[in-house]
Amino acid sequence: MADTLTLFTSIGLSEQKAKETLKNDALSSFNMLGDVVDRDTMGTLLYSMASRLKDTKRLAFLSHSIAQCKICTELQLAAALDFVKSHPHDPINQKEFEEACGVGVVITPEQIEDAVESVIKKHKEQLLKERYRFNMGLLMGEARSALKWADGKVIKNEVDMQVLHLLGPKTEADLEKKPKVMQFIIFKGIPMTGEGKSLMEQLRGEALKFHKSGENYKTEGYVVTPNTMSLLKKHLEITGGQIRTRFPPEPNGILHIGHAKAINFNFGYAKANNGICFLRYDDTNPEKEEEKYFTAIKDMVEWLGYKPYAVTHASDNFQQLYDLAVDLIRRGHAYVCHQKVEELKGHNAPPSPWRDRPIEESLVLFERMKKGLFAEGEATLRMKMVMEDGKMDPVAYRIKYTPHHRTGDEWCIYPTYDYTHCLCDSIENITHSLCTKEFQARRSSYYWLCNALDVYCPVQWEYGRLNLTYTVVSKRKIIKLVETGVVRDWDDPRLFTLTALRRRGFPPEAINNFCARVGVTVSQTTTEPHLLESCVRDVLNDTAPRAMAVLEPLKVTITNLPESSKSDVRVPDFPANEAKGSHTVSFTRTIFIEQSDFREVMEKGYKRLTPEQPVGLRHAGYVISVQKVIKDAQGKVVELEVTCCSSETAEKPKAFIHWVSQPLVCEMRLYERLFLHKHPEDPSEVPNGFLSDINPNSLQVISSALVDTSVKGANVYDKFQFERVGYFSLDPDSTADKKIIQEIHNVHHLNIHVYVYVNID
């Protein structure tokens, strides 16, 4: 058993996952190692397979395929799982299986270059006519269909490079906005416009069919009382008919991507209709509230581009809420109860024997609760009503002997959400109380309480939650990830909290654009991270200046340049629009290129540097040719000696590669998705819980990476694109002596993410 455990950990599994895998007899009953090329990848594939397939015979078959390096990628594994699941009883036809899974298919950079070149040639006439208005997605689609097993992001990068080579930088005419053609997308619930409309356009006017200010009574389900019209008249006198919304988070955790939709919906609806929006902290649970959460929430709202009309707190209204509770008792709608918390849980709690106690008795007992004459859990104030989900007499006040963040020891009774929420909305004269769909069951209690107290009653409107796959956003689960050391803190770049996304380098406008693309849906929305990443790329492509970096350096000495040779090379910040500026980098006798940009043995279709084939250096104006290959004692290529000539006089090379000279020495941390499965909280996908689904390769380190010196003066959160690598941002941990550059998106990896430690002399 110990030997097998060592075997599993040697192929990239953590000790915990190795022990879990040992429970699977079919998977652990034979030697899987074989001739392993990439142990970390193999470990991830084995664990992913074992957690998604229960057929022991098929497990053994697929395990051998992975161990023999026939199945090498997640894309191949997905195809393999589909194949074996569609052949549950048949003996596996090895040839059909390998064809279906792309076994042995190697997609080289040259094949990608050729495929893209072929597609561009096919559409060349239309491309030259329409230029950058041409639908580039068509090129991507055709190239991908030709190369089923290729990395889509590498194809995208190659398309961009070849289109730029064909068309040149964007002109002023290219930069003019194309007239919008409206596209309509039907969501479950209401028809909404997709990318054809901005979020503001979606939230403006008749799109949502919301009531007009003061016309609450026209809303379906709104309860009208004899005093409704006079209360609405007073409400209009206060608001002047202005739209009023609020964003009411609990200050007991960090906001996540789902909150971005709520922020955009609440603040956006007010802004789109010339209204105001309050940031109101629902601070009624002193046990879980901390100052850092208050600060972080406000920071994130403002980071997304919204300024609250006012920052308020539920605790601002503690005295008024208490007075209203006394009034509720006097009206016969509330009573003091002594049932224990355990008795009140669930929807079938026994009726309270104190429900019909005299009003005067409840008033006295409630005053005693306020004075601290009961122990915690010994008494609660309950409202006499039945909620839409069947729950009877929800609690309005409970006892907590915990000092409050703002009010200290002034109170020992605190109101609940069901009591506080609607009354704070009423106090602030909110016109549209916008909340997520799960609060629909509380709508009737919302209206009941306002009407029972004879106060102004806003209208509650529900919208669908926004969820992302491959992540968890629950406060409790994120705390568990932090406590177990899986992630560093709430802002770990692998999380989807807003602080993590900001640290990762996601522009706020990209997150807002993502919310607009998702649309103001009534139904719950679950989407994959690549849609958010697409929005990020769209913004950064226009805003992140280019630079060069080499992740796996190979030293190149240009022998026909003098030892002291040094010149400045101009690199455009935005090659498609050079008018936006440039920077200079040094070019000396010694440069560094990517190891993958050189091959000692020429292969068919390879277009970069070989002893027989020269290559161009991007931006430098030189073509280099290999003269000597230098190897270490183990036979590894460690240096090239080359000669250079001007690209103006040399024959045009088949490719141009990036390079660095006199660079900053870096350490890069690459991140993949934190979880292996789309739904890590789903027991049917991950039976052993979300902590068992951690991707063992979510953090990888590359040493001796090199970055050009143009990033040396960058400020925290400055963003730039390393050519042929990805988008990066300067991390807040940076110091004067060590800059940390964190990757936002990488063209060679799926959803990965990099820190770069920069040693500055």
| pLDDT of amino acid 4 | 53
Q: Would you say residue 749 lies in a domain?
A: no
| pLDDT of amino acid 741 | 79
Q: What phi and psi, each to the nearest 5 degrees, are found at residue 217?
A: -65, -15
Task: Take residue 243 and report the two structure tokens written for it.
Answer: 């739209």
For residues 336 and 414, membership in a common domain is answered with yes
Q: What phi and psi, each to the nearest 5 degrees, are found at residue 355?
A: -60, -35
For residues 139 and 44, membership in a common domain is answered with no
Please name the residue that has the structure tokens 């299986």. Answer: 97
Give the H or E element holding residue 713. none
SS3 (DSSP) at 325 = helix
SS3 (DSSP) at 184 = strand
297 Cβ neighbours under 8 A, 6+ residues apart: 249, 251, 254, 255, 279, 281
| Cα separation, 370 vs 717, whole angstroms | 49
CA angle 259, 261, 263 (to 5 degrees): 70
Amino acid type, 80: A
Low-confidence ranges of the chain (pLDDT < 70): 1-41, 51, 54, 172, 175-198, 204-208, 347, 746-761
Task: Decide which of 159, 174, 189 is a domain's last residue.
Answer: 174
Return the CATH number at 149.
1.10.10.2420
Return the CATH number at 597.
2.40.240.10
215 is catalytic: no
* Residue (of 317, 333, 245) closest to 284 by Cα position: 317
Amino acid type, 526: T
Assign residue 689 a region (left: φ > 0; alpha: ψ between -120 and 50; beta: otherwise): left
For residues 141 and 284, membership in a common domain is answered with no
| Cα separation, 193 vs 208, whole angstroms | 11
| Cα separation, 84 vs 704, whole angstroms | 42
SS3 (DSSP) at 156 = helix
Task: Decide which of 57, 83, 101 is a domain's last residue.
Answer: 101
- The number of angstroms, rounded, from the C-alpha of 130 to the middle of its chain's C-alpha atoms is 34
Burial of 145 (0-12, 13-18, 19+ CB in 10 A): exposed
For residues 117 and 162, membership in a common domain is answered with yes
| pLDDT of amino acid 27 | 43
| Cα separation, 759 vs 740, whole angstroms | 9
Contact between 434 and 465 (Cβ < 8 Å)? no
Q: Which residues of 547-563 are buried (b: 16+ CB within 10 A; e: fewer)?
A: bbbbbebbebbbeebee
Q: Would you say residue 496 lies in a domain?
A: no
| Cα separation, 148 vs 393, whole angstroms | 59
Q: Would you say residue 221 lies in a domain?
A: yes
Written in H, E and C, the secondary structure of 652-698 is CCCCEECCECCCEEEEEEEECCCECCCCCCCCCCCCCCHHHHECCCC
Return the CATH number at 313.
3.40.50.620
For residues 448 and 340, membership in a common domain is answered with yes
Please tell me what DSSP assigns to residue 488: S
Catalytic residue among 19, 39, 400, 475: 475
Contact between 249 and 291 (Cβ < 8 Å)? no
Please tell me what DSSP assigns to residue 253: S
Task: Take residue 187 and report the two structure tokens written for it.
Answer: 């969501």
564 Cβ neighbours under 8 A, 6+ residues apart: none
176 is catalytic: no
For residues 312 and 214, membership in a common domain is answered with yes
Amino acid type, 11: I
For residues 35 and 142, membership in a common domain is answered with no
What count of Cα atoms within 13 Å lies in the side-chain half-sphere of residue 22? 16
| Cα separation, 571 vs 573, whole angstroms | 6
- The number of angstroms, rounded, from the C-alpha of 354 to the middle of its chain's C-alpha atoms is 49
Q: Would you say residue 232 lies in a domain?
A: yes
Q: Would you say residue 694 lies in a domain?
A: no
Catalytic residue among 215, 250, 462, 667: 250
* Residue (of 247, 303, 269, 259) closest to 201 by Cα position: 269
Q: Would you say residue 509 lies in a domain?
A: no
For residues 577 and 435, membership in a common domain is answered with no
| Cα separation, 295 vs 251, whole angstroms | 9
Return the CATH number at 72.
1.10.8.1290
| Cα separation, 49 vs 597, whole angstroms | 33
Range of the domain at 595: 547-663
Amino acid type, 174: D
For residues 314 and 426, membership in a common domain is answered with yes
| Cα separation, 425 vs 245, whole angstroms | 9
What count of Cα atoms within 13 Å lies in the side-chain half-sphere of residue 270? 25
| Cα separation, 89 vs 69, whole angstroms | 25
- The number of angstroms, rounded, from the C-alpha of 281 to the middle of its chain's C-alpha atoms is 24
| pLDDT of amino acid 172 | 67
CB atoms within 10 A of CB 347: 9
For residues 84 and 125, membership in a common domain is answered with no
Whole-model pTM: value is 0.73
Domain tally, the chain:
4
633 Cβ neighbours under 8 A, 6+ residues apart: none
Rg for the chain (alpha carbons), in Å?
A: 31
For residues 251 and 167, membership in a common domain is answered with no
Q: Would you say residue 417 lies in a domain?
A: yes
| pLDDT of amino acid 229 | 95
For residues 253 and 377, membership in a common domain is answered with yes
Task: Take residue 239 and report the two structure tokens written for it.
Answer: 């608001």
Task: Take residue 325 and report the two structure tokens written for it.
Answer: 């509770």
Task: Decide which of 51, 79, 101 is a domain's last residue.
Answer: 101
Q: Would you say residue 742 lies in a domain?
A: no
Catalytic residue among 39, 131, 465, 589: 465
| Cα separation, 99 vs 194, whole angstroms | 38
475 is catalytic: yes
Residues facing 645 on adjacent strands: 623
